[in-house]
Amino acid sequence: MALIVQKFGGTSVGNPERILNVARRVIETQSQGNQVVVVVSAMSGVTDNLIKLARDVSPNPSEREMDVLLATGEQTTIALTAMAIAGLGKKAVSLTGAQAGIVTSETHTKAKIATISPERVLEALEEGNIVIIAGFQGETAEGSITTLGRGGSDLTAIAISAAIKADLCQIFTDVDGVYTCDPRIVKNASKIQEISYDEMLEMASSGSKVMQSRSVEFAKKFGVTFEVRSSFNYNPGTIVKEETESMEAVVVRGVSIEKNQAKVTISHVPDKPGTAARIFTTLATSGVIIDMIVQNVSVEGSTDISFTLSKDELPKAKAALEPVVKEVGASALHSQDGIAKLSIVGIGMRSHSGVAAKLFESLSAGSINIQMISTSEIKTAVIIEEGRIAEAANLVHEAFHLGQASA
């Protein structure tokens, strides 16, 4: 008998019929001899409606009360899911985040999980129940309702899995798993059977938004193995886990792409201490989120600094930087959109040489120009013209033989 945590997102519980499907699936898992804990999100659309209501009564609703309001979304789903399971003849009991023992920090709307006291969850399981827990929520030590922010339900599932020492945590979503590249762009992209936490994190941070990074980081920290799989079919998904020796045999696990990027270059920046700090502190205090940073070798006492960011952030970045450019004595600020990022990710890069070279070669073979390069231990990213990103992704995917068999 295994102890399994299954998480279903808002689309999977989007209406009564889908909730009944979830109920059937959960019962199936139990009837195979397992104990089952289910974590659910708010039904899709519900959270948006609640936010609209809040805006109708206040231009700037308090975050504490926003949490009280939003927490009703998952509370509705846990009750309906427990009813659906009971209606199909199995014992079920619902628990809010607070009832499940999830204690968080006091940072309303983006609280961090502090501790979990899962006694009620374990008791309810002992009594033969399928236990349904509200994702995305908890309470402070003083008993105020909190929510965990974006990706919070995934985080609940992984944290509960750690707390009750589950044998398996399954994140059901609307995709089949993690792919070697976006299948809408690379037709023969294949589903990845196993991926390490670090690879998953790099994939997420470079455009493959299957899960929020914080959930993966939490899983890594507490060693929770989880599976990302579809709630709409029975295909096996992708297992995310500690890296194993065999994983290193694969040089590149996947190719991530991120469109709608922009590049800013500040030219002839005087090469003296504190200048880069001045520029990036200005961006940070203006709330601009930047991605890659490249600084060329200094020539004749001055250097060029480039960085990339989401195209949407560009106007804000330019407005913030204009006075700074003069202040630090740089000659000009150039910006450009219409670019995209392509990243290859794999822990095998650590022990294999020539990976970056192979990436550059494959792009060169397609006459695709590389505008910027950035590397980390298990990722190599390049910036290219946005219009050629699909072509580039297919070339690189092919070069690393990612489509031939599941990596």
Using CB under 8 A, list all residues that contact a copy of itself. 16, 19-20, 23, 50, 53-54, 56-62, 64-66, 68-69, 71-72, 75-76, 78-84, 86-87, 92-94, 96, 99, 120, 143-145
3-state DSSP call for residue 140?
A: strand
Q: How far is the CB of 49 from a copy of itself (least distance, A)?
A: 10
Question: Element (H or E) spanning 16, and its range?
Answer: helix 16-31
Of the candidates 110, 107, 219, the one whose C-alpha atom is nearest the C-alpha of residue 154 is 219
Query: Of 80 and 247, which CB lies nearer to a copy of itself in the complex structure?
Result: 80
Residues 135, 129: Cα–Cα separation, whole Å: 18
DSSP letter assigned to residue 315: H
CB 84, min distance to a copy of itself, A: 4
Q: Which is nearer to a copy of itself, 50 or 276 (CB)?
A: 50
Q: How far is the CB of 59 from a copy of itself (least distance, A)?
A: 6
3-state helix, strand, coil in the chain (%, to 5): 40, 30, 35
Do the Cβ atoms of 137 and 148 come closer than 8 Å? yes
Query: Which of residues 125 and 344 has its CB atom nearest to a copy of itself in the complex?
Result: 125
Closer Cβ to a copy of itself, 69 or 321, answer by number: 69
Is 334 exposed, middle or buried, given 0-12, 13-18 or 19+ CB atoms closer than 10 A? Answer: exposed
Q: Could you tell me which of 46, 37, 48, 34 has the C-alpha nearest to residue 122?
A: 37
* Nearest distance in Å: CB 157, a copy of itself: 19
For 33-80, give the DSSP string.
T-EEEEEE-PPTTHHHHHHHHHHHH-SS--HHHHHHHHHHHHHHHHHH
Q: In the complex, what is the shortest distance from the CB of residue 79 to a copy of itself, in angstroms, rounded to a whole number?
A: 4
Pick between residue 122 and residue 347 the one whose CB is nearest to a copy of itself: 122
The CB-of-55 to a copy of itself minimum distance in angstroms stands at 9
CB 382 within 8 A of CB 372: yes
Choice between 56 and 377, CB closer to a copy of itself: 56
